[in-house]
Structure 1
Amino acid sequence: MKRIGIAFVVKILGTTGFVFSFLLVAAAQEAKVGCPALCDRDWAEGCTPNDTPPVSDFWAGPGVTDVTFLAFGDAQTSSGPANKNMLNARALNAADTVLSWTETSFGVNAPVGRVRGVIMAGDISNDGRDGRYMTEDNIAEFTDVYGLCGNAILKYPIFEGYGNHDYFTYDHLMYRLFLAHPVADSVSQRNPYRAGLVETAPGADGHYSWEWDNIHFVQLNLAPSDLVPAMNVAGARNPRQALRFLRQDLAKHVAGTNKRVVIVTHYGFYNSWDFDGWWTYSEANAYHDVIKYYDVIAHLHGHAHSTGFYHWRGIPVFNLGSPFYNAADSNPDGRGHFSVFRITDDFLYAGDAGWNPADPENDIVFPGKWYAKIPLHDRGVSQAIVCNPPPDRVRAGDRLELVAPEGSAFLWERNGEPLFDIPPRIAGVESRTLVINPVRESDSGLFTVGYDNGSGSKILVKSEPLLLRVQPGALPVSNLWTIAGLVLLLAVAGTCPRYTSH
């Protein structure tokens, strides 16, 4: 019995010692200067905050803006084809040698060149792991392919953000024990080595801003929000005070200047996707309240794995594309996609580029699924919508006509969301005249119309907003007779003698 008891005690002590040792090792990993995911890597080799760009002739002269950059979303390492990011980097590297703006019919006879860098709109990884505790290393693939300052396969500096997949949300004791979200944290750990930043968020928040010529760029990572969602895992999908950072950053670096602004997040503004459980309309409204007094010329996002262009509250929004060439639902053409941008003093040019996984360095369709030419000087000179009846005289039950300024390719919106024909009551959402008959009190809101004003742009400019407040409708005749009867009754009652007691 003594031998069995001693053996049992030794076994227990041995197990306890092993667990204690494992915890010590885990704690040591967590204590590595706050960067267990990145301390032992050479991803920052040759990178300093004062790096010069890889091309020397970016500057077009004093007071002149001419900025070209590439952008995509959802690198999402360890998901999809293993070679997708390698192929994507090769295609990005080839953009300045095989792509030309001439192909876009913009009237710009020039190649795509002088690329400043590459923007990545969230989802660095698929699972939020960084190799600790013998788990898969999602960061290694990203840093090995994209580097930081043009020091890996990608030849350009990269300005990445984290997305919803970059929070660790799985059942793993050692990640949960230390509340670890190392991939999301990695952005803040890389920021001190990133060139040209003008502002960085505190701690592990990871938000940052930089400037190319007169354009102020803000990387807000997951979403432009401060609202922390209720999740089963602490810290998951926490936007880490992104909206607060944006408010302070714009006030410090943009207010009182003529700078234009480009904002980058992972989430976008698709009703059937982004607002379907990822973030909310109220968060988006709070974001709009912060930016509405600034010259925001573009919002870039990922998340949907697809590519596209649309407006949200008058702001051009670009869904940047992704390397997921095998995803038939988002990229049915079997190509990976990124977006190409050029911003000058007068225009924002943008187009989708789709690369063939069999030959990503030569077979790049540009422009692909969409392209845009947005006049920047005329953005503040919009024309009014004509309302019949006048907007202060519209009552429920009326026939309402809204007439857009002269142009073509009309698209009506209410409260920043596209309208749809609902026959026979709502008609003409893609024509110059929008008819709502009968109009209802619930139709009240802020109406705008996007349209081609004949400037040669394929993109829609925005009208001045029209605020419509539909008043209650006139009472039916039967109700009027009822009211008249009551008035008459009260009048007669008022002539009756008043009896008093003596």
Structure 2
Amino acid sequence: MPGTLSRRQFAASAAAAVSFPALLRADAPKAAGDAVAFFLVGDTHFLANKEDAAKLDERSAAVTSRLVDVLNKLPGTEIPKEAGGGTVLAPRGVIHAGDCIDTGDKANVKMQETEWAAFRDAYGLTGTDGKLKVPVYEVHGNHDSPRGDGLAVKKIVERNKTRPGVENVSKSGVHYSWDWGGVHFVNLGIVVGQAADPARKRRYAPLGSLDFLVGDLKEKVGTSGKPVVVTHHVDMLRYAQPLPVEDKKAEGMEWDPADVRGFHDALKGYTVAAILYGHTHARNVFRWDGSNTAARDGIPTFNVDNSSHFSGKQQAFFYFEIRGDGLIVREYHTGDAWETGAWTPQTWTAPVAPAKK
């Protein structure tokens, strides 16, 4: 789009302009109680061989396999002091922020079938049926199915019927929610929408995710004050633009600004511990107040880097602990496509505070 930064440019400029420790308190409380621990990965982009679509691309096969090895080996290991110290707890599962496969936005169904089969074999579903030793909770991204009618979305719908712990599933079968401990998780697909007004075409099909979010929070959280974690694929800041936005311009955007506004409004009054997403292939951490710039006050938001993309060596994922009324997040990264890996010498912490009335 003319005059608009690319997702990578935007993430890079936002990260450069804002220091995360200034946005989330470094003195977040370390409350007692059982922690809810989990990993967040994204943009794994399983890629089939273009010359022989029945096989996985060698680069993709190597990096995606090594990532799962790392996820399996980390629990129980020590975290260095510069990354906050402690031990990696047994994770409840892995949340995947989308773009599980690479060619779901293209016409080669055979490549998609090979890619999804490789994703399924690596991540399984329950922690007992794939290489990954814990359950996985994925959303779909634009490389999985931008209009929500491709193979990957159909597979997610089927998986949601037997996914461990799921308590609520949307009418479309795509969006779903569950609880880990006292924390409520909602997975909302590629973007969150569609607001009733304006009723224009959306570039990426929201598949009723906004209505599902509103209903799910009302039914499953209500006035309990239970912390909420929301996952979707596309980044918000570029599209959190002042309304109204001209129809033709909005229809070219990945996320309609009216839907971004509706998403933020839907979260008001709830204790949102974190928003999680991928898509940008760059780490970005900030607070979101509904505007198009990182804020000093707002919802803690975590944009995970690509975790096993075939085209590069730099990859990363997040490790989360939500303990009592505090959140602590660490990043594990590689510069050689997971032949080795290390903790980023930084932590991100925040209180999980009740929403303001």
Corresponding residue for 1:9?
Answer: none
Matched, 1:91 2:70: yes
For normalisation by structure 2, the TM-score amounts to 0.74
- Residue 291 of structure 1: which of 261, 267, 277 is its match? 267
Q: Contact conserved, 2:41 with 2:96, CA < 8 A, in 1?
A: yes
- Residue 162 of structure 2: which of 193, 196, 214 is its match? 193
Question: What is the Cα deviation at residue 134 of structure 1?
Answer: 4.9
For normalisation by structure 1, the TM-score amounts to 0.53
Q: How does 1:188-267 map to 2 (within 5 A)?
A: 188-203=157-172, 205-226=173-194, 230=201, 237-267=204-234
**Larger RCO, structures 1/2 (Cα 8 Å, 6+ apart):** 2
Give the distance between the partners of 2:78 and 2:309, measured in 1 at CA.
19
- Residue 343 of structure 2: which of 344, 366, 381 is its match? 366
- Residue 316 of structure 1: which of 281, 291, 300 is its match? 300
2:238 aligned counterpart, secondary structure: coil
Give the distance between the partners of 2:344 and 2:337, measured in 1 at CA.
19
Give the distance between the partners of 2:229 and 2:237, measured in 1 at CA.
19
Corresponding residue for 2:35?
Answer: 66
1:92 aligned counterpart, secondary structure: helix
Give the distance between the partners of 2:65 and 2:143, measured in 1 at CA.
20
Give the distance between the partners of 1:99 and 1:163, measured in 2 at CA.
33
Question: What is the Cα deviation at residue 322 of structure 1?
Answer: 1.7
Q: Contact conserved, 1:64 with 1:213, CA < 8 A, in 2?
A: no
Q: Which runs of 5+ in 1 are unaligned?
A: 1-62, 170-178, 329-333, 382-463, 465-502
Corresponding residue for 1:343?
Answer: 322
Corresponding residue for 2:131?
Answer: 153
Give the distance between the partners of 1:285 and 1:273, measured in 2 at CA.
7
Question: What is the Cα deviation at residue 249 of structure 1?
Answer: 0.3
Give the distance between the partners of 1:129 and 1:146, measured in 2 at CA.
21
Q: How does 1:431-446 map to 2 (within 5 A)?
A: none
Q: Contact conserved, 1:306 with 1:321, CA < 8 A, in 2?
A: yes
Question: What is the Cα deviation at residue 266 of structure 1?
Answer: 0.3
Give the distance between the partners of 2:240 and 2:264, measured in 1 at CA.
19
1:193 aligned counterpart, secondary structure: coil
CA offsets per residue over residues 275-326 of structure 1, 9 Å max, x none?
9821133211111111111111100001112222111111111011222466
Matched, 1:281 2:281: no
Q: Contact conserved, 2:43 with 2:309, CA < 8 A, in 1?
A: no
Task: Quickly say closer, same or farther: Cα 1:326–1:126, change in 2 above 3 A.
Answer: closer
Q: Which runs of 5+ in 2 are unaligned?
A: 1-31, 49-56, 242-249, 290-297
Question: What is the Cα deviation at residue 327 of structure 1?
Answer: 5.2
Q: Contact conserved, 1:65 with 1:214, CA < 8 A, in 2?
A: no
CA offsets per residue over residues 405-445 of structure 1, 9 Å max, x none?
xxxxxxxxxxxxxxxxxxxxxxxxxxxxxxxxxxxxxxxxx
Task: Quickly say closer, same or farther: Cα 1:102–1:242, change in 2 above 3 A.
Answer: same
Between Structure 1 and Structure 2, whose CA radius of gyration is higher?
Answer: 1
Question: What is the Cα deviation at residue 371 of structure 1?
Answer: 2.6
- RMSD, matched Cα: 3.1
Q: How does 1:308-457 map to 2 (within 5 A)?
A: 308-313=284-289, 314-324=298-308, 334-357=313-336, 360=339, 363-367=340-344, 370-377=346-353
Task: Quickly say closer, same or farther: Cα 1:162–1:229, change in 2 above 3 A.
Answer: farther
CA offsets per residue over residues 199-219 of structure 1, 9 Å max, x none?
01124x410000011100000
CA offsets per residue over residues 324-343 of structure 1, 9 Å max, x none?
46656xxxxx3321000000
Task: Quickly say closer, same or farther: Cα 1:315–1:373, change in 2 above 3 A.
Answer: same
1:294 aligned counterpart, secondary structure: coil
2:143 aligned counterpart, secondary structure: helix
Q: Contact conserved, 1:73 with 1:121, CA < 8 A, in 2?
A: yes
Give the distance between the partners of 1:166 and 1:156, measured in 2 at CA.
22
Question: What is the Cα deviation at residue 130 of structure 1?
Answer: 11
The letter for the 2-side match of 1:74 is D
Q: Contact conserved, 1:129 with 1:136, CA < 8 A, in 2?
A: no
Give the distance between the partners of 1:355 and 1:373, measured in 2 at CA.
22
Give the distance between the partners of 1:162 and 1:220, measured in 2 at CA.
9
Corresponding residue for 1:163?
Answer: 141
Corresponding residue for 1:116?
Answer: 92
Matched, 1:268 2:235: yes
1:202 aligned counterpart, secondary structure: coil
2:38 aligned counterpart, secondary structure: strand
Task: Quickly say closer, same or farther: Cα 1:78–1:255, change in 2 above 3 A.
Answer: same
Q: Contact conserved, 1:116 with 1:156, CA < 8 A, in 2?
A: yes
The letter for the 1-side match of 2:44 is A
Give the distance between the partners of 2:38 and 2:109, measured in 1 at CA.
38
Question: What is the Cα deviation at residue 128 of structure 1?
Answer: 1.7
Question: What is the Cα deviation at residue 245 of structure 1?
Answer: 0.3
Corresponding residue for 1:39?
Answer: none
Q: Contact conserved, 1:74 with 1:124, CA < 8 A, in 2?
A: yes
The letter for the 2-side match of 1:94 is K
Question: What is the Cα deviation at residue 230 of structure 1?
Answer: 3.8
1:343 aligned counterpart, secondary structure: strand
Identity %: 27
Give the distance between the partners of 2:39 and 2:111, measured in 1 at CA.
32
2:75 aligned counterpart, secondary structure: helix
The alignment of Structure 1 onto Structure 2 pairs a total of residues equal to 294
Question: What is the Cα deviation at residue 242 of structure 1?
Answer: 0.2
The letter for the 2-side match of 1:195 is P
1:166 aligned counterpart, secondary structure: coil
